[in-house]
Structure 1
Amino acid sequence: MPQAKKIGVVYTSSDSGGQSNAKKFEKLVKKAGLQPKMYTIANTNDMQQISQQMASDVDVIYAPQDNGVASSMKTLVNNANQAGKAVFPAADTMVADGGTASYAIDQHDLGRTAGHMAAKVIHGKKPANYPVEYVVKGKYVINQKQVDKLNIQIPEKIMQQAHKNGRVIK
């Protein structure tokens, strides 16, 4: 979306992870020469009003990994759709809940990695004796319904990668 200049970022004020992710993204947006507009919700009940305001103020919306935002994705997407704005979330599950697209870690891969770490502990290894494992490679996840609804053109190379290694939600 090369025409987007104002990027709305919504996060839950009481979710330290969401807050941290939103602040990091804010810095990236500024570094790219774009204008971030930060919005907070105290809980999921706030999403209706905040997302309506945000959708009227910005060109596109970013939803970081944040439990409160994830729980109210349908409200966020509904209000964004009414304003013709795309929502790009940080998590693949949030794309499945109506987000437009993402390059994100796969929640299944993350669970598998956590399971391997837990198995080491169960088998007697002390967590202090091995490094924390991370999922570092993301996958493209595209919600085709949203892309079509908002008339967004996804570059062919990205669509091919989503079909091959990621996910296209129909």
Structure 2
Amino acid sequence: MSKNNCQWRNWLLGASLALASAATFAQSVAVVSFVEHPALDAMRDGVAEALAEAGYDQNNKNFSWQFQSAQGNNAVAAQIARKFVGDKPDVIVAIATPAAQAVVAATRRIPVVYGAVTDPVGAQLVPSLQASDTNVTGVSDALPIDDQIALIQQLLPQAKRIGVVYNPGEANSVAVLEQLRDKLPEAGMSLVEASAPRTLDVGAAARSLIGRVDAIYTSTDNNVVSAYEALVKEGNEADIPLIAADVDSVKRGAVAALGQKYHEMGKQAGRMAVRILKGENPGDMPSEGGTELELYLNENAAREQGVTLPQALLDQAAVVLR
């Protein structure tokens, strides 16, 4: 063999080894969110921040990230899930219950980290909140329902009838509704339900509660949060106070919310993804919950909806919008 041919062969061998090495060490994370609204966007950004802090960002040539939103459509969520499974990333992060259900239905092998899921067991993502021995783990945004009811009582001591607008097709919303059915009567209150299967139904559902309720409570239902302005319009016009589980809804016109820090929960989920990228098995990782709640109040919304904010709540609030 000539000297030139030998050099060429060595170059090809070296290039092949380099490519094999890059393929060995290249890692990727795919993120799907059911819909884009402030809370879920904050969670997505928290995931990206935690990954970046661990060196998994755009400056890492051996790492790639992709994000897609299902725009509130279950069929689109299923399509994205199938695409991601075909792409074979190292981890799929699924934000919100319908997105997580679509991804978990699509794969039993690729590690999945769910986020912003209120009832992961009821949604059949994991058999329990302990280590699942499956390909799934994640972070739940479940809120202590007693604390939510206590907030309603502090804000509106005379309230007896609590309206809830919700999507009956969203497992996390149904889980919260069932808790309210059980717990509100214990607090001397009753539940009045109004279903909104689609985002465009939210305003009509809110109107159906006028004259029947003393306040409207909204959970982290993605349909409702996506169309919160329609709810605020009805609340303002009818002097019905809006109390939310999502603090970003206070910025959009709710009077109060005691909710999770979604950016911090995103960082929790991101850190779980990092652990998987570094070799941990998701089935050995128990599900986690949000670690911090914060109270937001909106003085202007309170005036619009005929509420006087108690000084005790003002003193407790992390944020008071004026």
| TM-score normalised over the length of structure 2 | 0.49
Choose from 157, 162, 167 the match for 2:319.
Answer: 167
CA deviations 1:144-166 (Å, max 9, x no partner) are 2112323423232321221xxx2
Q: Which residue of 1 aligns with 2:128?
A: none
Q: Which residue of 1 aligns with 2:303?
A: 148
| Alpha-carbon shift at residue 119 of structure 1 (Å) | 1.4
1:2-151 pair list within 5 angstroms: 2-151=157-306
CA contact (8 A) 1:73 1:94 kept: yes
Taking the aligned partners of 1:106 and 1:168, their CA distance within structure 2 comes to 16
Taking the aligned partners of 2:289 and 2:201, their CA distance within structure 1 comes to 33
Q: Which moved more, 1:81-90 or 1:118-127?
A: 118-127
| Alpha-carbon shift at residue 67 of structure 1 (Å) | 0.5
CA deviations 1:90-122 (Å, max 9, x no partner) are 111222221110111111121121111111111
> What count of residue pairs does the alignment treat as equivalent?
167
Q: Which moved more, 1:40-49 or 1:1-10?
A: 40-49
Whichever residue aligns with residue 66 of structure 1, its letter is: D
CA deviations 1:64-93 (Å, max 9, x no partner) are 110011111100110011110111111112
CA contact (8 A) 1:11 1:63 kept: yes
Taking the aligned partners of 2:182 and 2:249, their CA distance within structure 1 comes to 22
* Long gaps (5+) in structure 1: none
CA contact (8 A) 1:48 1:76 kept: yes
Q: Which moved more, 1:74-83 or 1:14-23?
A: 14-23
Taking the aligned partners of 1:22 and 1:94, their CA distance within structure 2 comes to 19
Q: Aligned with 2:176: secondary structure?
A: helix
Taking the aligned partners of 2:300 and 2:235, their CA distance within structure 1 comes to 14
Taking the aligned partners of 1:46 and 1:155, their CA distance within structure 2 comes to 33
Q: Aligned with 1:55: secondary structure?
A: coil
CA contact (8 A) 2:295 2:319 kept: yes
Change (3 A) 1:145 1:9: same
Whichever residue aligns with residue 129 of structure 1, its letter is: D
* Long gaps (5+) in structure 2: 1-155
CA RMSD of aligned residues (A): 1.5
Q: Which runs of 4+ in 1 moved over 6 A?
A: none
